[in-house]
Amino acid sequence: MIQIKDIKQAKNKAKISMLTAYSYPLARIIDKAGIDIILVGDSLANVVLGMDSTREVTMSDMLRHTQAVVRGVEHALVVGDMPYVAYQEDIKLAVENAKKFIQAGCAAVKVEWFEDCLEVVKLLRKENIQVMAHIGLTPQTVEKLGGFKTQGKDLETAKKLIDQALRLEKQGCFAIVLECVPDRVAGLITKKINAPTIGIGSGLYCDGQVLVTHDMLGIFDRYTPKFVKKYADLSNEILKAVTSFKDEVSNGVYPDKKHSFAISDEEFEKLQQEEG
Protein backbone atom coordinates (compact mmCIF):
# COMPACT_ATOMS: atom_id res chain seq x y z
CA MET A 1 0.00 0.00 0.00
CA ILE A 2 1.44 3.38 -1.00
CA GLN A 3 1.78 5.83 1.87
CA ILE A 4 2.08 9.59 2.21
CA LYS A 5 5.81 9.25 2.92
CA ASP A 6 6.29 7.39 -0.39
CA ILE A 7 4.67 10.26 -2.27
CA LYS A 8 6.84 12.84 -0.48
CA GLN A 9 9.99 10.78 -1.10
CA ALA A 10 9.20 10.43 -4.79
CA LYS A 11 10.11 14.11 -5.33
CA ASN A 12 13.13 14.35 -7.67
CA LYS A 13 13.27 10.54 -7.89
CA ALA A 14 10.20 9.23 -9.70
CA LYS A 15 7.22 10.80 -11.40
CA ILE A 16 3.93 10.42 -9.53
CA SER A 17 0.83 9.21 -11.38
CA MET A 18 -2.66 10.07 -10.20
CA LEU A 19 -6.08 9.38 -11.72
CA THR A 20 -9.62 9.93 -10.55
CA ALA A 21 -12.03 7.09 -9.79
CA TYR A 22 -15.60 7.07 -8.60
CA SER A 23 -16.57 3.39 -8.81
CA TYR A 24 -15.42 -0.04 -7.67
CA PRO A 25 -14.66 -1.54 -11.12
CA LEU A 26 -12.63 1.42 -12.39
CA ALA A 27 -10.78 1.75 -9.07
CA ARG A 28 -9.77 -1.92 -9.39
CA ILE A 29 -8.42 -1.44 -12.91
CA ILE A 30 -6.55 1.77 -12.06
CA ASP A 31 -5.06 0.15 -8.96
CA LYS A 32 -4.01 -2.92 -10.95
CA ALA A 33 -2.19 -0.65 -13.42
CA GLY A 34 0.00 0.60 -10.55
CA ILE A 35 -1.21 4.22 -10.44
CA ASP A 36 0.21 5.84 -7.27
CA ILE A 37 -2.73 7.97 -6.15
CA ILE A 38 -6.45 7.54 -6.78
CA LEU A 39 -8.44 10.72 -6.27
CA VAL A 40 -12.15 10.46 -5.64
CA GLY A 41 -12.58 13.82 -7.34
CA ASP A 42 -15.51 16.16 -7.02
CA SER A 43 -15.42 16.00 -10.84
CA LEU A 44 -17.85 13.19 -9.96
CA ALA A 45 -20.41 16.01 -10.30
CA ASN A 46 -19.68 16.55 -14.00
CA VAL A 47 -18.48 13.26 -15.40
CA VAL A 48 -20.72 10.83 -13.50
CA LEU A 49 -23.69 12.71 -12.05
CA GLY A 50 -24.23 15.00 -15.08
CA MET A 51 -24.21 18.22 -13.02
CA ASP A 52 -22.97 21.52 -14.46
CA SER A 53 -20.72 22.48 -11.54
CA THR A 54 -18.61 20.66 -8.98
CA ARG A 55 -20.23 22.95 -6.41
CA GLU A 56 -23.41 20.91 -6.67
CA VAL A 57 -21.98 17.66 -5.37
CA THR A 58 -22.79 16.77 -1.74
CA MET A 59 -20.84 15.06 1.04
CA SER A 60 -23.14 12.07 0.83
CA ASP A 61 -22.54 11.75 -2.96
CA MET A 62 -18.79 11.90 -2.35
CA LEU A 63 -18.79 9.43 0.53
CA ARG A 64 -20.91 6.85 -1.30
CA HIS A 65 -18.46 6.86 -4.23
CA THR A 66 -15.43 6.95 -1.93
CA GLN A 67 -16.61 3.78 -0.20
CA ALA A 68 -16.98 2.06 -3.58
CA VAL A 69 -13.49 3.13 -4.67
CA VAL A 70 -11.86 2.08 -1.40
CA ARG A 71 -13.35 -1.42 -1.80
CA GLY A 72 -11.52 -1.77 -5.11
CA VAL A 73 -8.08 -0.53 -4.06
CA GLU A 74 -5.22 -2.62 -2.70
CA HIS A 75 -2.12 -0.52 -3.44
CA ALA A 76 -2.82 3.10 -4.38
CA LEU A 77 -3.09 5.98 -1.95
CA VAL A 78 -6.73 7.08 -1.93
CA VAL A 79 -7.45 10.80 -1.58
CA GLY A 80 -10.95 12.16 -1.01
CA ASP A 81 -11.79 15.48 -2.64
CA MET A 82 -13.60 17.77 -0.21
CA PRO A 83 -16.67 19.13 -2.00
CA TYR A 84 -17.41 22.85 -1.80
CA VAL A 85 -20.14 22.40 0.83
CA ALA A 86 -17.75 20.48 3.08
CA TYR A 87 -15.50 23.45 3.90
CA GLN A 88 -15.94 26.57 1.80
CA GLU A 89 -19.44 27.56 2.94
CA ASP A 90 -18.46 27.20 6.58
CA ILE A 91 -14.86 26.40 7.47
CA LYS A 92 -15.97 25.11 10.88
CA LEU A 93 -17.35 22.01 9.06
CA ALA A 94 -13.99 21.14 7.50
CA VAL A 95 -12.60 18.86 10.21
CA GLU A 96 -15.83 16.93 10.75
CA ASN A 97 -16.21 16.36 6.98
CA ALA A 98 -12.56 15.48 6.40
CA LYS A 99 -12.81 12.87 9.16
CA LYS A 100 -15.69 11.26 7.27
CA PHE A 101 -13.39 10.74 4.26
CA ILE A 102 -10.71 9.25 6.51
CA GLN A 103 -13.27 6.95 8.14
CA ALA A 104 -14.34 5.87 4.64
CA GLY A 105 -10.77 4.69 4.01
CA CYS A 106 -8.97 7.70 2.49
CA ALA A 107 -5.38 8.43 3.47
CA ALA A 108 -5.86 12.17 2.87
CA VAL A 109 -8.24 14.83 1.63
CA LYS A 110 -7.82 17.46 -1.07
CA VAL A 111 -8.90 21.09 -0.72
CA GLU A 112 -8.99 23.83 -3.36
CA TRP A 113 -7.51 27.28 -2.83
CA PHE A 114 -9.95 29.97 -1.67
CA GLU A 115 -9.57 32.95 0.65
CA ASP A 116 -9.69 30.85 3.86
CA CYS A 117 -7.79 27.87 2.49
CA LEU A 118 -4.76 28.27 4.77
CA GLU A 119 -7.02 28.39 7.81
CA VAL A 120 -8.78 25.19 6.68
CA VAL A 121 -5.44 23.42 6.14
CA LYS A 122 -4.31 24.57 9.59
CA LEU A 123 -7.46 23.13 11.20
CA LEU A 124 -7.05 19.82 9.38
CA ARG A 125 -3.33 19.47 10.10
CA LYS A 126 -4.02 20.19 13.79
CA GLU A 127 -6.16 17.03 13.72
CA ASN A 128 -3.35 15.19 11.96
CA ILE A 129 -5.35 14.88 8.74
CA GLN A 130 -3.14 14.73 5.65
CA VAL A 131 -3.94 17.39 3.08
CA MET A 132 -3.32 17.73 -0.64
CA ALA A 133 -3.91 21.28 -1.86
CA HIS A 134 -5.14 22.38 -5.29
CA ILE A 135 -4.20 25.77 -6.77
CA GLY A 136 -4.31 27.48 -10.16
CA LEU A 137 -7.63 26.84 -11.84
CA THR A 138 -9.88 25.87 -8.96
CA PRO A 139 -13.29 24.85 -10.37
CA GLN A 140 -15.14 25.33 -7.04
CA THR A 141 -14.52 29.10 -7.27
CA VAL A 142 -14.11 29.38 -11.03
CA GLU A 143 -16.29 32.49 -11.35
CA LYS A 144 -13.79 34.42 -9.21
CA LEU A 145 -11.04 33.45 -11.66
CA GLY A 146 -12.85 34.76 -14.71
CA GLY A 147 -13.89 31.31 -15.99
CA PHE A 148 -12.05 28.16 -17.03
CA LYS A 149 -8.78 29.86 -18.00
CA THR A 150 -5.06 29.29 -17.54
CA GLN A 151 -3.92 30.89 -14.26
CA GLY A 152 -0.60 32.63 -13.57
CA LYS A 153 0.08 33.97 -17.06
CA ASP A 154 1.56 37.28 -15.89
CA LEU A 155 4.08 38.36 -13.27
CA GLU A 156 1.51 39.31 -10.64
CA THR A 157 -0.69 36.20 -10.85
CA ALA A 158 2.30 33.86 -11.22
CA LYS A 159 3.82 35.34 -8.05
CA LYS A 160 0.50 34.82 -6.26
CA LEU A 161 0.57 31.13 -7.15
CA ILE A 162 4.16 30.78 -5.93
CA ASP A 163 3.16 32.46 -2.68
CA GLN A 164 0.13 30.18 -2.24
CA ALA A 165 2.26 27.07 -2.85
CA LEU A 166 4.91 28.17 -0.33
CA ARG A 167 2.32 28.97 2.33
CA LEU A 168 0.40 25.73 1.77
CA GLU A 169 3.61 23.73 2.08
CA LYS A 170 4.48 25.61 5.28
CA GLN A 171 1.03 24.81 6.64
CA GLY A 172 1.77 21.11 6.13
CA CYS A 173 0.27 20.02 2.79
CA PHE A 174 2.00 16.87 1.55
CA ALA A 175 1.39 17.57 -2.16
CA ILE A 176 -0.04 20.33 -4.33
CA VAL A 177 -2.13 19.97 -7.49
CA LEU A 178 -1.42 22.68 -10.07
CA GLU A 179 -4.28 23.03 -12.53
CA CYS A 180 -3.91 24.98 -15.78
CA VAL A 181 -0.70 26.80 -14.87
CA PRO A 182 1.81 27.65 -17.66
CA ASP A 183 4.47 24.94 -17.82
CA ARG A 184 7.43 27.14 -16.82
CA VAL A 185 5.53 28.71 -13.91
CA ALA A 186 4.60 25.19 -12.74
CA GLY A 187 8.30 24.26 -13.09
CA LEU A 188 9.33 27.20 -10.94
CA ILE A 189 6.79 26.30 -8.23
CA THR A 190 8.01 22.69 -8.38
CA LYS A 191 11.59 23.86 -7.81
CA LYS A 192 10.65 26.19 -4.95
CA ILE A 193 8.78 23.70 -2.76
CA ASN A 194 9.74 20.37 -1.23
CA ALA A 195 6.24 18.93 -1.49
CA PRO A 196 5.58 17.20 -4.81
CA THR A 197 3.50 19.08 -7.37
CA ILE A 198 0.96 17.16 -9.41
CA GLY A 199 0.02 18.89 -12.62
CA ILE A 200 -3.16 18.87 -14.64
CA GLY A 201 -2.80 21.00 -17.74
CA SER A 202 0.41 22.39 -16.23
CA GLY A 203 3.11 20.82 -18.39
CA LEU A 204 5.96 18.43 -17.93
CA TYR A 205 7.97 20.07 -15.14
CA CYS A 206 5.66 18.96 -12.30
CA ASP A 207 6.58 16.04 -10.05
CA GLY A 208 3.53 14.11 -11.18
CA GLN A 209 0.48 14.21 -13.41
CA VAL A 210 -3.24 13.75 -12.85
CA LEU A 211 -6.13 13.43 -15.27
CA VAL A 212 -9.83 12.86 -14.88
CA THR A 213 -10.18 9.21 -15.87
CA HIS A 214 -13.46 9.72 -17.73
CA ASP A 215 -11.71 12.33 -19.91
CA MET A 216 -8.59 10.31 -20.69
CA LEU A 217 -10.61 7.17 -21.45
CA GLY A 218 -12.97 9.14 -23.69
CA ILE A 219 -16.05 8.18 -21.65
CA PHE A 220 -17.14 11.76 -20.97
CA ASP A 221 -17.78 13.46 -24.29
CA ARG A 222 -19.65 16.68 -23.37
CA TYR A 223 -16.42 18.72 -23.47
CA THR A 224 -12.71 17.94 -23.40
CA PRO A 225 -10.12 20.43 -22.10
CA LYS A 226 -7.13 21.10 -24.41
CA PHE A 227 -4.66 19.41 -22.05
CA VAL A 228 -6.50 16.08 -22.01
CA LYS A 229 -4.87 13.33 -24.01
CA LYS A 230 -7.40 10.63 -24.85
CA TYR A 231 -5.74 7.28 -24.26
CA ALA A 232 -8.89 5.45 -25.37
CA ASP A 233 -12.20 6.21 -27.04
CA LEU A 234 -14.47 4.23 -24.77
CA SER A 235 -17.59 6.19 -25.53
CA ASN A 236 -17.41 4.98 -29.17
CA GLU A 237 -16.50 1.46 -28.06
CA ILE A 238 -19.50 1.42 -25.71
CA LEU A 239 -21.76 2.85 -28.41
CA LYS A 240 -20.64 0.09 -30.82
CA ALA A 241 -21.22 -2.64 -28.21
CA VAL A 242 -24.64 -1.35 -27.17
CA THR A 243 -25.74 -0.98 -30.81
CA SER A 244 -24.66 -4.58 -31.52
CA PHE A 245 -26.67 -5.77 -28.51
CA LYS A 246 -29.74 -3.86 -29.73
CA ASP A 247 -29.38 -5.32 -33.27
CA GLU A 248 -28.89 -8.87 -32.01
CA VAL A 249 -31.93 -8.60 -29.72
CA SER A 250 -34.03 -7.21 -32.60
CA ASN A 251 -32.85 -9.97 -34.97
CA GLY A 252 -33.20 -12.81 -32.46
CA VAL A 253 -29.46 -13.56 -32.61
CA TYR A 254 -28.91 -13.01 -28.89
CA PRO A 255 -29.09 -15.07 -26.73
CA ASP A 256 -27.75 -18.10 -28.62
CA LYS A 257 -27.29 -21.60 -27.12
CA LYS A 258 -23.91 -20.64 -25.67
CA HIS A 259 -25.53 -17.95 -23.54
CA SER A 260 -28.62 -19.93 -22.46
CA PHE A 261 -29.31 -22.68 -19.91
CA ALA A 262 -30.62 -26.14 -20.85
CA ILE A 263 -32.93 -28.73 -19.33
CA SER A 264 -32.49 -32.42 -20.27
CA ASP A 265 -34.81 -33.84 -22.98
CA GLU A 266 -36.13 -36.39 -20.48
CA GLU A 267 -37.11 -33.79 -17.88
CA PHE A 268 -38.54 -31.47 -20.48
CA GLU A 269 -40.69 -34.26 -21.98
CA LYS A 270 -42.11 -35.00 -18.53
CA LEU A 271 -42.82 -31.30 -18.03
CA GLN A 272 -44.55 -31.04 -21.40
CA GLN A 273 -46.71 -34.08 -20.60
CA GLU A 274 -47.88 -32.45 -17.37
CA GLU A 275 -48.12 -28.85 -18.49
CA GLY A 276 -48.73 -29.10 -22.23
> According to the binding rule CB under 6 A, does residue 20 interact with ligand KIV?
yes
Length of the chain (residues): 276
According to DSSP, the β-strands at 77-81 and 37-40 are: parallel
Q: Could you tell me which stretch among 41-49, 87-95, 147-155, 217-225 binds ligand KIV (CB under 6 A)?
A: 41-49
By CB under 6 A, tell whether 42 contacts ligand KIV: yes
Residue 199 CB, shortest distance to ligand KIV, in Å, is 10
Among 31, 36, 61, 81, binds ligand KIV (CB under 6 A): 81
What does 114-168 look like in DSSP terms, one character per residue? -TTHHHHHHHHHHTT--EEEEEES-GGGGGGGTSS--S--SHHHHHHHHHHHHHH
At a CB cut-off of 8 Å and minimum separation 6, what does 34 contact? 17, 75
Confirm or reject binding of residue 210 to ligand KIV (CB under 6 A): yes
Choices 2-10, 37-45, 156-164, 255-263 (CB under 6 A): range interacting with ligand KIV: 37-45
**Contact flag: residue 43 with ligand KIV (CB under 6 A):** yes
Q: With beta carbons less than 8 A apart as the criterion, state whether 143 and 137 touch.
A: no
Q: Is 96 a catalytic residue?
A: no
- Shortest spacing between CB 62 and ligand KIV, in angstroms: 10
CA distance 105 to 85: 20
Q: Which stretch binds ligand KIV (CB under 6 A): 35-43, 68-76, 83-91, 124-132?
A: 35-43
- Candidates 56, 74, 179, 248; catalytic one: 179
Distance, CA of 120 to chain centre: 21
Distance of closest approach, residue 261 Cβ to ligand KIV, in angstroms:
43
Residues β-bridged to residue 211: 19
Q: Which residues in this chain contact ligand KIV in the complex, by CB under 6 A?
A: 20, 39, 41-43, 81, 134, 177, 200, 210, 212
